[in-house]
Chains A and B, each alone.
Chain A
């Protein structure tokens, strides 16, 4: 850890853990001046890490320029550059890290490596005003229930296999739905689910505060192949998967007795999931908030803001320690900026 020049005003954050390349700019006071994202859309199938990384390298220049212009800044006015150091897909992470290192060297400003999952939690807290929430972070790569305790975000519950968003995406692709810009596969499933009427019996697997989702995905695909209506299977898949994750969240809520619940990550955009979590929060007298849609999916602003928090706590990442961390669990990261008893 090196000491840098005193804090100026702006942090630029780079997000490239999966299919999105995002650049955000945050002031040290928590104002988001810009958040620009360019997503990689595969022709078929899921994210091919190398193809996504190539996309990121191609759009980096354009996205950076646009974000800096939107914030009405000159590059020389930036004081810190933050990047998502992990967890995520190796090639994608490396393309973002390369851009960040280059910027840091060129502008001669400190580099801060940020944990992507903590970025989702911190942007949620910033945008909703939550102080000490129990957080459900659900996305294509992650599904976990976390809360702060003694210096770190602890994981109270998580998926034992695949992530919630991954389950919805893979199901959608198996059902022949197409990935389009501005319309994530999860949103397509949500729309179809709203037209579902019949609850098809599917597995419901809660193990303590953890859950297993892969069997549910397999069973949903099988139900579709057996001739159940697509709308009904979407409906049943959502109801089962969200009930499981809600039950797990409620268990963690009863256990931790937190007074706030925060929903963050890409799946946070789903209205049905929001409704379910709203119900359990009310049952336990906890205030429920959802990250705003534009900060739900992966974005650079969350990295910029978490970079600010880390930098202000004196955390910086020398270049020789800036290797990407493909598997970097939330509960391995110290968060000295969280000031709670």
Chain B
């Protein structure tokens, strides 16, 4: 099995390989020498076990995620389906406003489905979304995800997405987030959306140097 490096990420290296006649991605969490080995091993194993489980549960919730073929806990590697498509990060700024709204609504719907089923992605950036050829958004990289029904965890999930939009797609961030919330509301309902939105405001105020906080104190 020959593997070609696709992307050296922060947490893991992604390789493209051929496995049993299928094109696969091997995600390998290599040891991080900056951390104490004991801590490093705990983190890498934990994430290697939890990521496929969450991806599996996401599928059950109707959210497209790659198929998992192999999980090697000892080597902290996961072999999964290769999704033919384009990273959403590379699309957002270049497509027209209507397409962008549709794309972001679709993202909001997928996130809504996760949350309704008690799954929190944990790293909702546009790097972790792939638009496939049929126009469906696949979510990848559940390494920081968790099972949680809590408003707090779901609020943080959406807060991180907004934050990621603001840093990477600053010109269209608010427009995108608005569309995400529309899609999200369509799945979770207006009542839950209001609750989550209130939580997001609370989370943002907890942060450092937030202008909104000053107005209330």
A and B pair up: yes
User: A133-173: which residues lie under 8 A (CB-CB) from chain B?
Assistant: 141-144, 149-150, 152, 154-156, 158-161, 163
User: B3-59: which residues lie under 8 A (CB-CB) from chain A?
Assistant: 8-11, 32-36, 38-39, 43
Q: Please measure, in the bound complex, the distance between the C-alpha atom of A326 and the C-alpha atom of B207, giving whole angstroms.
A: 14
Using CB atoms, name the residue of chain B closest to A152: B170
Chain B residues with CB below 8 A from A253, complex form: 10
A159 close to B43 (CB less than 8 A): no
Chain A residues with CB below 8 A from B203, complex form: 160
User: Shortest beta-carbon distance, A94 to chain B, in Å?
Assistant: 15
Q: Please measure, in the bound complex, the distance between the C-alpha atom of A337 and the C-alpha atom of B34, giving whole angstroms.
A: 35
Chain A residues with CB below 8 A from B123, complex form: 207-209
User: Shortest beta-carbon distance, B143 to chain A, in Å?
Assistant: 10
A206 contact from B144, B210, B214, Cβ within 8 A: B144
A204 close to B10 (CB less than 8 A): no
User: Shortest beta-carbon distance, B42 to chain A, in Å?
Assistant: 8
The yes or no answer to A216 lying at the interface (CB within 8 A) is no
B34 contact from A144, A240, A246, Cβ within 8 A: A246
The yes or no answer to B160 lying at the interface (CB within 8 A) is yes
Contact string against B for A residues 280-323, beta-carbon threshold 8 Å, 1 for contact and 0 otherwise: 10001000000000000000000000000000000000000000
A243 close to B208 (CB less than 8 A): no
The yes or no answer to B185 lying at the interface (CB within 8 A) is no
B144 close to A207 (CB less than 8 A): yes
The yes or no answer to A38 lying at the interface (CB within 8 A) is no
A199 close to B39 (CB less than 8 A): yes
A327 close to B213 (CB less than 8 A): yes
Residues of A in contact (CB 8 Å), total 47
A150 close to B170 (CB less than 8 A): yes
Chain A residues with CB below 8 A from B210, complex form: 327, 329
The yes or no answer to A183 lying at the interface (CB within 8 A) is no
Q: Please measure, in the bound complex, the distance between the C-alpha atom of A117 and the C-alpha atom of B173, giving whole angstroms.
A: 23
User: Shortest beta-carbon distance, A3 to chain B, in Å?
Assistant: 29
Q: Please measure, in the bound complex, the distance between the C-alpha atom of A149 and the C-alpha atom of B127, giving whole angstroms.
A: 17
Given A199-B38, A204-B43, A207-B156: A251 in contact with B11 (beta carbons within 8 A): yes
A276 contact from B34, B127, B207, Cβ within 8 A: B34
A280 close to B208 (CB less than 8 A): no
The yes or no answer to A239 lying at the interface (CB within 8 A) is yes
Given A141-B208, A142-B208: A160 in contact with B39 (beta carbons within 8 A): no
Q: Please measure, in the bound complex, the distance between the C-alpha atom of A152 and the C-alpha atom of B156, giving whole angstroms.
A: 25
The yes or no answer to A5 lying at the interface (CB within 8 A) is no
Q: Please measure, in the bound complex, the distance between the C-alpha atom of A253 and the C-alpha atom of B10, giving whole angstroms.
A: 7
The yes or no answer to A190 lying at the interface (CB within 8 A) is no
B36 contact from A199, A279, A328, Cβ within 8 A: A199
Contact string against B for A residues 1-25, beta-carbon threshold 8 Å, 1 for contact and 0 otherwise: 0000000000000000000000000
A243 close to B35 (CB less than 8 A): yes
Chain B residues with CB below 8 A from A86, complex form: 209
Q: Please measure, in the bound complex, the distance between the C-alpha atom of A111 and the C-alpha atom of B97, giving whole angstroms.
A: 42
Q: Please measure, in the bound complex, the distance between the C-alpha atom of A160 and the C-alpha atom of B160, giving whole angstroms.
A: 10
Knowing that A199-B38, A250-B10 touch, tell me 5 more A-B residue pairs with CB under 8 angstroms.
A87-B208, A160-B203, A250-B11, A280-B34, A328-B209
21 A-B residue contacts at CB 8 Å?
A149-B170, A154-B166, A199-B36, A207-B144, A208-B164, A209-B125, A209-B163, A246-B35, A247-B32, A254-B8, A255-B10, A255-B125, A276-B34, A277-B34, A279-B33, A284-B8, A326-B209, A327-B211, A329-B208, A331-B166, A331-B167
Q: What residues of chain A have their CB less than 8 Å away from a CB belonging to chain B? A: 86-87, 141-144, 149-150, 152, 154-156, 158-161, 163, 199, 204, 206-210, 239-240, 243, 246-247, 250-255, 275-277, 279-280, 284, 326-329, 331-332
